């Protein structure tokens, strides 16, 4: 039995890198390739043969990876830019999100039971994110030596993740709010605060998705095959219906409401991250593995059909020509 985390992590990284290079060459999504590389080391394949143990040390890495992804997402846009995008994107995003949530929840009562009121958790995370992001932006203005930017951002993220855990607020939302708040307070392209972690993004993706793939367990997936089917259909249907409904309310062009839904089929990091974080929540620990495997299987399906769906929409909307 291999318990050496660095050896396991090294093997995951090497396989992820090789699969990713092949995927890049074949022009297929690298995220699915990383997950497949991880799957190779899951309990049903090589991981079981060598007796890999990842559960004891991987949460630390996946949490940090997820925090970095969430931070860069939060910092990708500012208030001003959101305002300029106008009501189309706001309405369509709301429709997409709520449509998917409502249909997925309605389709699976066990998932619905697991959802509890989390208003305080969300408000706490937003508050903590705003404060930490503001402090980070302040430091970004004060510190001149660019070598300190990466440690500065990483320490803010690690500190906030720890505080979020202690305060029982959402670490993911906290990291996202740090990104948004830091960019807003910093008031510029934010290169100092984001470029150093963006440089790490590919490494973060490899670690994150190979680890997620390594959690794959055939027996658990077999138990929840119906759940995968329901989730895949309900999520896409919900997103499409939500977009159609809200785009009509917002009065956006018909071509947008007709085809935008096809463009939001892909699913990756945040969904897997949330599923992994569920495994660390004691109350949901039993269902965590099932959720991870459901999300992982659906991610592979979405990552395969997603690019084709997007291509179909863009061609039909006459945005691109083949």
Partner 1 sequence: MSQPCFANKTSADWLNQHQSKPVMVDENASIDQIINALLIEDRRDAYVVNADNKVIGHIGFANVATHLLSEHRVTHTHRQLFARVIEPTAKELMDPHFTSAYEDELLCDVIHRQLDHGLDDLIVLSRDTHVPLGAIQLKDVLAESLCLE
Output the DSSP codes for 219-235.
Answer: HHHHHTHHHHHHHHHHH
Question: CB of 9: closest distance to partner 1 in angstroms?
Answer: 22
Q: Which burial class, exposed, middle or buried, applies to 46 when counting CB atoms under 10 A from its CB (0-12, 13-18, 19+)?
A: middle
Distance CA 21, CA 48 (A): 25
Residue 5: DSSP 8-state: H
Nearer to partner 1, 49 or 79 (CB): 79
Provide the minimum distance between the beta carbon of 219 and partner 1 in the complex, in angstroms, as a whole number: 36
Smallest distance, partner 1 to C-beta of residue 81, A: 5
Distance CA 97, CA 80 (A): 22
3-state secondary structure of 68: helix
Radius of gyration of the chain (CA): 20
Give the sign of the dihedral formed by CA 41, CA 42, CA 45, CA 51.
Answer: positive
Tell me how far apart the alpha carbons of residues 35 and 208 are, in angstroms, rounded to a whole number.
9
Residue 205 or residue 262: which is nearer to partner 1 going by CB?
A: 205
Residues that bind partner 1 (CB under 8 A): 24, 72-73, 75-78, 80-81, 84-85, 141, 144, 186-192, 194, 198, 201-202
Shortest gap between Cβ of 65 and partner 1 (angstroms)?
Answer: 15
Kindly tell me which of 23 and 156 has the beta carbon lying closer to partner 1.
23
* Residue with Cβ nearer partner 1 (49 or 199): 199
Nearer to partner 1, 142 or 318 (CB): 142
Q: How far is the CB of 72 from partner 1 (least distance, A)?
A: 5
């Amino acid at each position: 039995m291999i318990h050496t985390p660095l050896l396991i992590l090294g093997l995951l990284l090497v396989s992820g890198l090789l699969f990713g290079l092949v995927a890049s060459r074949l022009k297929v999504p690298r995220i699915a390739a990383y997950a497949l590389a991880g799957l190779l080391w899951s309990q049903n394949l090589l991981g079981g043969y060598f007796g890999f143990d990842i559960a004891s040390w991987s949460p630390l890495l996946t949490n940090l990876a997820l925090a970095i992804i969430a931070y860069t997402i939060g910092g990708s846009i500012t208030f001003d830019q959101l305002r300029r995008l106008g009501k189309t994107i706001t309405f369509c995003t709301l429709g997409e999100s709520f449509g998917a949530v409502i249909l997925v929840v309605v389709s699976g009562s066990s998932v619905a039971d697991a959802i509890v009121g989390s208003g305080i958790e969300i408000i706490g995370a937003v508050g903590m994110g705003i404060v930490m992001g503001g402090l980070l932006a302040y430091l970004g203005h004060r510190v001149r030596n660019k070598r300190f930017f990466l440690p500065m951002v990483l320490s803010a993220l690690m500190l906030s993740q720890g505080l979020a855990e202690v305060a029982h607020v959402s670490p993911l939302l906290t990291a996202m709010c740090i990104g948004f708040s830091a960019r807003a307070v910093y008031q510029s392209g934010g290169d100092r605060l984001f470029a150093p972690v963006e440089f790490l993004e590919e490494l973060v993706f490899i670690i994150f998705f190979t680890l997620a793939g390594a959690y794959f367990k055939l027996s658990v997936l077999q138990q929840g095959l119906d759940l995968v089917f329901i989730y895949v259909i309900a999520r896409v249907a919900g997103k499409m219906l939500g977009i159609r409904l809200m785009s009509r309310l917002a009065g956006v062009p018909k071509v947008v409401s007709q085809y935008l839904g096809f463009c939001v089929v892909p699913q990756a990091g945040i969904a897997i991250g949330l599923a992994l974080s569920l495994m660390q929540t004691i109350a949901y620990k039993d269902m965590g593995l099932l959720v991870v495997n459901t999300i992982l299987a659906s991610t592979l399906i979405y990552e395969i059909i997603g690019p084709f769906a997007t291509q179909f929409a863009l061609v039909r909307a006459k945005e691109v020509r083949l």
